[in-house]
Amino acid sequence: MRRIVNLTLAVALIAIPAAASARPSGDGVNVVVADAAEAKGEFELVGHEPLMNRGMNAALAVHKGYAYVGSRTDGLHPNASVMIVDVSDPGAPTVVGQIGTPDAANPGETTREMRIWPEEDILIILNLASNCSYLIHACSPTSATGTDVYRFFDISGDKASAPELIGEYAPSSNPHEFFLWDDPKDKDRTLLYQSNTGSGTQMTITDISDARKGKFDEIVVWETVVPSPDTDNRLHSMTVTPDGRRTHIAILGGGYLELDTSQVAAGKSKPKIKQITNMEKRPAWGDPGAHSTVKFPGRDFVFAADEVYGEVPVLLAGHGCPWGWVRIIDIRNHVFPKIVSEFKLPQNEEEFCESLTDNDPLRNSTSSYAAHNPTLTDNLALITWHAGGMVAVDISNPKKPALAAQFVPEPLVAVTQEDPALSSGHDKVAMWSFPVVKDGLIYAVDVRNGLYILRYSGPYEKEVASLKFLEGNSNLGAAAKLDRSY
């Protein structure tokens, strides 16, 4: 397919219908609905790489002068490899290579999760076979039955553009997402925190310090029973404080819990994990539910984002409009946390859903205006919001979050594979990845439209511009410096 580069939007701030800025709910939660006219900042488009117009893009990892982008679908599709992008000139990112079969892009496998382990110059790719769905990932109809495997690649020196496979790790339970934790007191020690979504509310922590020697030590498995039989109680994802003492988990329909993982951080033999949050009083808001829970740097609040797709019959019943948004949880009382505010786009309001009934009913099953993956600075949340694009939320006052900026890219004219539940209908934008901040620029992946490199200006812009590296799903780079609460 012809390579189409669209850089027509030097600065993009979507014009969306004005909405009430805030209203109290019956339980004292402050509900804020974004109003584009009130945004005091903007995103500048620095660079864009459409990734061969393949569609179905996924995980993002950035290291030195390269970005690596995985695929949401499998090897039955063309160009489903991991794309290697030269970003040494952020204004002109260019695909320079691919990781293909047999290390990636196999039928029945999707490379939806990856991280860089910078001290070792290793790229970690989670190849998901157990969660490669025909209905929502356009995978082979016979997939979703395999075993998930991590593959480790040497990306040192010249290998950055031609990664070399150095090891594999097949966990005892299939993972769904993972958090990469570098021990701040021992740079030779690195752990993977993995959500075992297929096994209920369960998490496995694995020591990968000797990955180059092919050694992987599963040091502890934590699990609990969430007393809500009518909701989806699978542990979806987790984030870990930079010092490792606390872990914040998102349990789909089961809500939020905080765990004491200090024994794991301390390297104790046979560590114990303690649940801090009172189970009966945990913040929970039902299905489809929590996707990501990220603690504010230096403050006892948690930013919780939902994952809600288009409503696909049978598989994703209950999804669809009004999709998912953001909740901010006060954890100053760690045993009894409480939701203090919500932040929405206008498309997350019931009025918008009602307007779809006659005008565009298929948007319920082919689009998603859902908050997804956030990366937080002291006072800003940078979050990919599916069809809502890249959103910056001012979180300086946790009880009154405010829209700082919003970027919605100009969609590509056509892609090889549309996402069945995110972009197959009216809405052709699906910002998805955890934003990565590198050298003051923001890198993010749109499922349909490729890799975007943005510059933010507005409230607290220096917090972003000064960062050498930060991402929401590891404790690498500036995370330890930012977090001062433990």
Specify the pLDDT at position 357: 78
Residue with tokens 């299905």, as numbered in its chain: 287
Exposed, middle or buried by CB within 10 Å (0-12, 13-18, 19+), for 327?
Answer: buried
Query: Taking the model in full, what pTM does it have?
Result: 0.93
- Tell me what the mean pLDDT of segment 341-351 comes to: 96
Whole-number percent of the chain with pLDDT over 70: 92
State pLDDT tens for residues 210-248.
Answer: 999 999 999 999 999 999 888 999 999 999 999 999 999
Does the pLDDT value for residue 13 go beyond 80? no
**Least confident stretch, 222-236, 259-273, 302-316, 420-434:** 302-316
The top-scoring range by mean pLDDT among 6-10, 288-292, 315-319, 339-343 is: 339-343
- Tell me what the mean pLDDT of segment 298-306 comes to: 96
Specify the pLDDT at position 484: 66
Specify the pLDDT at position 45: 98
Q: Which band of pLDDT confidence, cut at 50, 70 and 90, is reported for residue 15?
A: very low
- Tell me what the mean pLDDT of segment 122-139 comes to: 88
Does the pLDDT value for residue 21 go beyond 80? no
Q: Which band of pLDDT confidence, cut at 50, 70 and 90, is reported for residue 144?
A: low
Q: How much is the mean pLDDT over the chain? A: 91
- Tell me what the mean pLDDT of segment 147-166 comes to: 96
Q: Which band of pLDDT confidence, cut at 50, 70 and 90, is reported for residue 11?
A: very low
Specify the pLDDT at position 18: 35
Does the pLDDT value for residue 2 go beyond 60? no
Structure tokens that stand for 136 in this block: 């929502």
Specify the pLDDT at position 147: 84
Buried b (16+ CB within 10 A) or exposed e, 142-181: ebbebebbbbbbbbeeeebeebeebbebebebbbbbbbbb
Does the pLDDT value for residue 23 go beyond 60? no
How many angstroms separate the CA atoms of 323 and 215, rounded?
42
Fold of 11-56+173-482: Methylamine Dehydrogenase; Chain H (2.130.10)
How many angstroms separate the CA atoms of 461 and 154, rounded?
34
Specify the pLDDT at position 137: 87
Specify the pLDDT at position 1: 30
Phi/psi for 359 (5° steps) reads: -80, -40
State pLDDT tens for residues 384-407.
Answer: 999 999 999 999 999 999 999 999
State pLDDT tens for residues 42-81.
Answer: 999 999 999 999 999 999 999 999 999 999 999 989 999 9
Specify the pLDDT at position 17: 33
Specify the pLDDT at position 122: 98
State pLDDT tens for residues 431-459.
Answer: 999 999 999 999 999 999 999 999 999 99
Contact between 72 and 112 under an 8 Å Cβ cutoff? The reply is yes
How many angstroms separate the CA atoms of 147 and 282, rounded?
33
How many angstroms separate the CA atoms of 453 and 73, rounded?
23
Does the pLDDT value for residue 326 go beyond 70? yes
318 or 331, which is more confident? 331
Look at residues 427, 430, 431 and name the one whose alpha carbon lies nearest to residue 356: 427
